[in-house]
Amino acid sequence: MGAQLRVYRQKIRSAQTTKKITRAMELIAASRIQKALQRVSASAPYARAVTRAVSAVATYSNVGHVLTTEPEVVRRAAVVVFSSDRGLAGAFNANVLRASEELTTLLTEQGKEVVHYVVGRRGVSYFNFRKRTPERAWIGDTDTPSFATAQEIGEEIVARFVQSTDDGGVDEIHIVYNRFVSMLTQEPEVVRLLPLEVVEGVDEPESAEIFPLYEFEPEPAQVLDSLLPVYIESRIFNALLQSAASKQAATQKAMKSASDNADKLIRDYTRLANNARQAEITQQISEIVGGADALGSAK
Amino acid sequence: MALNVAVVSAERELWSGEATQVIARTTEGEIGILSGHEPVLAILAPGESRVTVADGTVVTARVEDGFLSVQGDTVTIVAGTAELV
């Protein structure tokens, strides 16, 4: 067998093995999307209830709250980036990191110091590689995020927000995550989480709805005190879930195109291998014919 | 008239349905809700909330944190972490 032919066959085999792997990953991702989407919709009643309650308190009590007050001067802003733990998801991590870089540039131009919080290993390694160590990182819980992680993140950033700027606190908190639009589209979304603009949330309740005059227990201020962090946690949990679903969808898409590319490679190399084989045969025939001719004329 | 009750945790809706009575533990103490209760927003203390269904069975939910909202005859028990017992 000719050397050329052997090389082509090797390449075909290698593409076939790769294709098996990418195909398997595609199927796994496809089944996980459904689970991730179910979790997103399962958490919707909670998000709705929390948003409603916050709106109700905000409407019927005139209490100002530290989480809703706009600071006069914003000196430091925090950006929470939701990436994934694993790659092989096409532009998923690149998109969210690019969006966060754009936001960082914008905030820096406005004269704000920017600190980063990162969720997901890919984001952490991105920041570490650029020698910009994130303030705090959460890894290992991006595939099926638990509510406990959301609570942890919420507590951390609320504590940081409440702290005074001189002690290292922040005046603004933004989150950047991939929003699940459809199986094919996941868009990086940038939201300012704190200070809160209550009622003008992402999924605000029907605006025509009039809230009844609630009796607050214990006091409106205290109710707001414990509700707002819950609201923040539910927004973060939603971002985590959306990001997880988007990651699976992005993986599925990336693996599908990888499998398609492998198919194309296999086809191309098969043609080349056939060509090489045919050329070899033709050469052998002409060698035999030439040899026979030479023997015949030598007599 | 029956109450429309939903017990909701961050992960999912744990239970929903019609009930005659809801007893929950707020930070101020236990509160019992029957049909026609005034609108309330109360912060829950860790403990058990009991929902009495029309046929007399009691659904108990252990709640870690969260709040209770009553509006009209709709009662929502909202908790970050909760489980049915």
Which chain B residues are closer than 8 Å to A43 by Cβ?
A: 10-12
Within a domain: A289: no
Instruction: Answer yes or no: is pLDDT of A200 > 50.
Output: no
Domain count, chain A: 1
Least confident interval from A50-59, A82-91, A187-196, A250-259: A50-59
| Cβ contact, residue pair A49, B81, below 8 Å | no
**Could you say which DSSP state residue A145 is in?**
-
Using a 10 angstrom Cβ sphere, with 0-12 exposed, 13-18 middle and 19 or more buried, the burial of residue B65 is: middle
Q: Spell out the SS3 assignment of B14-26.
A: EEEEEEEEEEEEE
| Cβ contact, residue pair B69, A52, below 8 Å | yes
- The verdict on B69 touching A (C-beta cutoff 8 Å) is yes
Residue A210: what pLDDT? 66
Residue A198 pLDDT grade (very low, low, confident, very high; cuts 50, 70, 90): low
- The verdict on A39 touching B (C-beta cutoff 8 Å) is yes
Scan for tokens 């019927």, then name that residue. A60
Within a domain: A271: no
Within a domain: A168: yes
Whether the CB-CB separation of B43 and B27 falls below 8 Å is answered with yes
Which chain A residues are closer than 8 Å to B12 by Cβ?
A: 42-43, 45-46
Which chain A residues are closer than 8 Å to B38 by Cβ?
A: 215
Task: List all residues 6 or more positions away from A67 whose beta carbon is below 8 Å from its beta carbon.
Answer: A158, A161, A162, A194, A195, A196, A228, A229, A232
- Look up the CATH superfamily of B3-84: F0F1 ATP synthase delta/epsilon subunit, N-terminal (2.60.15.10)
Whether the CB-CB separation of A46 and A234 falls below 8 Å is answered with yes
Using a 10 angstrom Cβ sphere, with 0-12 exposed, 13-18 middle and 19 or more buried, the burial of residue A106 is: middle
- The verdict on B27 touching A (C-beta cutoff 8 Å) is yes
Task: List all residues 6 or more positions away from A33 whose beta carbon is below 8 Å from its beta carbon.
Answer: A183, A245, A248, A249, A252
Query: First CA to last CA across chain A, in angstroms?
Result: 33
Instruction: Answer yes or no: is pLDDT of A17 > 60.
Output: yes
Least Cα distance to B68 among B78, B53, B56 occurs for B78
Whether the CB-CB separation of B6 and B76 falls below 8 Å is answered with yes
Within a domain: A6: no
**Cα-only R_g, chain A:** 29
Residue A208: what pLDDT? 52
Residue A1: what pLDDT? 58
Give the percent of chain A with pLDDT over 70. Answer: 93
Partner residue facing A46 (CB), from B39, B65, B78 = B78
Q: What is the CATH number of the domain that holds A64?
A: 3.40.1380.10
Which chain A residues are closer than 8 Å to B4 by Cβ?
A: none
Give the percent of chain A with pLDDT over 90. Answer: 61
CA distance A209 to chain B (A): 12
Break chain B into its structural domains and give their ranges.
Answer: 3-84
The Cα–Cα gap between B63 and B77 comes to 9
Question: A222 lies in which domain range?
Answer: 28-254
Within a domain: A108: yes
Q: pLDDT tens track of chain B, all 85 residues?
A: 788 999 999 888 899 999 999 999 998 889 999 998 888 889 999 988 999 998 888 999 999 888 999 988 899 999 988 888 8
- Quick: pLDDT tens for A93-139: 999 999 999 999 999 999 999 999 999 999 999 999 999 989 899 99
For residue A167, report the phi and psi dihedrals to the nearest 5 degrees: -90, 10
Instruction: Answer yes or no: is pLDDT of A63 > 70.
Output: no
Which chain B residues are closer than 8 Å to A50 by Cβ?
A: 78
The Cα–Cα gap between A198 and A122 comes to 32
The Cα–Cα gap between A230 and A226 comes to 7
Residue A137, beta-bridge partner list: A118
Residue A223: what pLDDT? 85
**Could you say which DSSP state residue A163 is in?**
S
- The two counts, helices (H) then strands (E), for chain A are 6, 6
Secondary structure (3-state) at A68: coil
Residue A203 pLDDT grade (very low, low, confident, very high; cuts 50, 70, 90): very low
| Cβ contact, residue pair A217, B42, below 8 Å | yes
Within a domain: A276: no
B71, B78, B81, B83: which to substitute to probe chain A, counting the most A Cβ within 10 Å?
B78
Instruction: Answer yes or no: is pLDDT of A201 > 70.
Output: no
Residue B74, beta-bridge partner list: B4, B71
Q: How far is CA A125 from CA A149, A229, B1, in A?
A: 20, 29, 58
Task: List all residues 6 or more positions away from A85 whose beta carbon is below 8 Å from its beta carbon.
Answer: A120, A121, A122, A139, A140, A141, A142, A143
| Cβ contact, residue pair A49, B69, below 8 Å | yes
Task: List all residues 6 or more positions away from A191 whose beta carbon is below 8 Å from its beta carbon.
Answer: A174, A175, A176, A202, A235, A239
Residue A178, beta-bridge partner list: A188
Nearest residue of A to residue B30, measured between CA atoms:
A217
Residue A271: what pLDDT? 95
